[in-house]
Chains A and B, each alone.
Chain A
Amino acid sequence: MLSRLNDTPCSGDPAEGPRAHGATPDLGCADVAVDADAGERRIRERVAAFEELLGDPRDEGNPFGNAALLDADERGELSAEAERALAAFGLNDEFVPSALGGNLDRIDGLARVLRPLFRRDASLGLGYGVTSFLAAIAVWAAGDEAQRRRTADLLRGGGRLAIAYHELAHGNDFVRNEFSARPDGSGGYLLDGRKDVINNAGRAEGLVLFCLTAPPGQRGPRSHSVLLVDTEGLPEDAWRVTDRYRTVGVRGCQVAGFSFERCRVPGDALVGRQGGGVETALRSFQITRSVVPGMVLGGADTALRTVVRFATSRELYRRSVLDIPHAQATVASAFTDLLVCDSICLAATRAVHLLPEQTSVYAAAVKYLVPKLLQDACYNLSIVLGANFYVRDGDYGVFQKHVRDLPMVSLGHAGSAACQATIIPQLPRLARRSWTQGTPAPEALFRTGGGLPALDTDRLVLAAEDDALVASLLAAADRLEGPGEAGAELAPVRALVRALVAELNRVREECLALGPHDRTAMASPHAYALADRYTLLLAGSACVNVWLAQRQDGGAGGDGEGFLANPRWVVAALTRVCRHLGLPLPEEADEHSEWMLAEVLGRYHEGRSFDLYDTHLAGPLVDDERAAARH
Chain B
Amino acid sequence: MVTTPRRSAPAQLDWPLPHPSWELGARLDRELGDPADDAGVHSYQESIRLDEGEEFPAEQLAALDLWGLPEYYVPAQYGGRLTDYQDLSQLIRMLARRDLTVAIAHGKTFLGAAPVFLSGDHAAARRLARLVRRGARVSLGLTERTHGSDILAGELTAEHHGDGLRLNGEKWLINNATRGRLLSLLTRTSPTGGPRGFSLVLVDKDELPDGTYRHLPKLRTLGIRGADISGVVLQDAPVGADAVVGGVGGGAELVLRTLQVTRTLCPALSLGAADHALRLAVGFAQERELYGRTLAELPLTRHTLAGAYADLLLCEALNTVAVRSIHALTSELGVTAAVAKYLVPSVVDDIVAELGALLGARSFLADHYAHGRYQKLARDHRIVGIFDGNTMVNLYSLVVQFRALARSFLAPADHRPRLASLFDLERRLPEFDPAQLVLVSRYGSSIMGTLPAALAELRAEAVDRPALARAAELAEELDRTARELHERIATCTSTVGDAAPSSFEDARRYSLCFAGAAALGLWLHSHRAAECGPTGELWRDGLWLEAVLDRVLRRQALGGPARRSAPAAGGATEADLSERLEARLIEQYQRGSLFSLLPCPVAEGPVSC
Contact = CB atoms under 8 A, between A and B. Distances in A.
Please tell me whether chains A and B touch each other in their complex, using a CB distance cut-off of 8 A.
yes
Given A315-B153, A525-B570, A248 B379 contact: yes
Contact of A329 (B150, B383, B391, B501): B501
Given A247-B365, A317-B496, A532-B567, A391 B219 contact: yes
Residue among B222, B303, B378 with max Cβ neighbours from chain A (10 Å): B222
Contact of A389 (B304, B367, B382): B382
A123 to B, nearest CB: 13
A-B pairs, top 3 by smallest CB distance, nearest first, are A526-B570, A329-B501, A525-B568
A318 B367 contact: no
Given A327-B392, A524-B570, 17 more contacts: A171-B361, A247-B366, A316-B149, A319-B497, A324-B499, A328-B501, A376-B564, A379-B349, A383-B392, A386-B148, A387-B148, A391-B219, A521-B290, A523-B300, A525-B570, A532-B568, A579-B558
Residue among B173, B497, B501 with max Cβ neighbours from chain A (10 Å): B501
B558 to A, nearest CB: 5
A384 interface: yes
B576 interface: no
A228 B561 CA distance: 49
Contacts of B173: 387, 391
Residue among A388, A393, A520, A580 with max Cβ neighbours from chain B (10 Å): A580
Contact-size category for A: 35 or more
Main secondary structure of the interface of A (DSSP, over half): helix
12 contacts: A168-B361, A245-B365, A324-B499, A325-B500, A325-B504, A379-B349, A380-B562, A383-B391, A392-B222, A523-B300, A526-B575, A579-B559
A315 B147 contact: yes
Contacts of B392: 324, 326-327, 383-384, 386
Interface string B13-24: 000000000000
B222 A380 contact: no
Interface stretch (A269-277, A349-357, A409-417): A409-417
A521 B289 CA distance: 12
B146 A314 contact: yes
A247 B364 contact: yes
B299 A524 contact: yes
Contact-size category for B: 35 or more
B432 interface: no
A74 B54 CA distance: 12
A375 B569 CA distance: 21
A390 B219 CA distance: 10
A533 interface: yes
B298 interface: yes
Contacts of B382: 382, 389-390
A348 to B, nearest CB: 20
Nearest to A255: B365
A492 to B, nearest CB: 17
Given A248-B375, A325-B498, A529 B153 contact: no
Nearest to B220: A392
B569 A386 contact: no
A526 B561 contact: no
Interface string B303-316: 11000000000000
Given A390-B383, A579-B559, A245 B366 contact: yes
Contacts of A170: 290
Contacts of A479: none
B188 to A, nearest CB: 15
Contact of A246 (B223, B304, B365, B501): B365
Interface of B: 143, 146-150, 153, 173, 219-223, 289-291, 293, 298-300, 303-304, 349, 353, 356-357, 360-361, 364-368, 372, 375, 378-379, 382-383, 385-387, 390-392, 395-396, 496-501, 504, 557-564, 566-571, 575, 578
A248 B357 contact: no
Contacts of B300: 417, 523-525, 528
Nearest to A246: B366
B562 A383 contact: yes
Given A315-B146, A579-B560, A392 B501 contact: no
Nearest to A510: B570
A131 interface: no
Interface in A365-409: 375-376, 379-380, 382-384, 386-393, 400, 403-404, 407-408
A197 B365 contact: yes
A248 B567 contact: no
A404 B501 CA distance: 28
A529 B569 contact: yes
Residue among A197, A416, A525 with max Cβ neighbours from chain B (10 Å): A525
A326 B558 contact: no
A217 interface: no
Contacts of A314: 146, 148
A316 B578 CA distance: 44
Contact of A333 (B298, B387, B560, B575): B560
Interface in A289-346: 314-319, 323-330, 333
A125 interface: no
Contact of A173 (B291, B395, B559): B291
B305 to A, nearest CB: 11
Nearest to B562: A380
Nearest to A535: B567
Given A315-B147, A324-B496, A380-B562, A248 B290 contact: no
B360 A316 contact: no
Nearest to A417: B300
A522 B297 CA distance: 8
A391 B361 contact: no
Contacts of A529: 567-570
Nearest to A382: B382
Nearest to B558: A582
A415 B299 contact: no
A457 interface: no
Contacts of B567: 528-529, 532-533
Contacts of B379: 248, 404
B299 A523 contact: yes
A523 B302 CA distance: 12
Contact of A526 (B372, B566, B568): B568
Interface string A32-62: 0000000000000000000000000000000
Nearest to B349: A379
Residue among A176, A247, A523, A593 with max Cβ neighbours from chain B (10 Å): A247
A18 interface: no
Given A248-B366, A325-B501, A390 B290 contact: no
Contact of B504 (A168, A245, A316, A326): A326
A197 B361 contact: yes
Contacts of B559: 579-580, 582
Nearest to B378: A248
Interface in A466-505: none
A407 to B, nearest CB: 7
A176 B293 CA distance: 12
Contacts of B349: 379
Contacts of A316: 147-150, 153
A266 to B, nearest CB: 32
A307 to B, nearest CB: 13
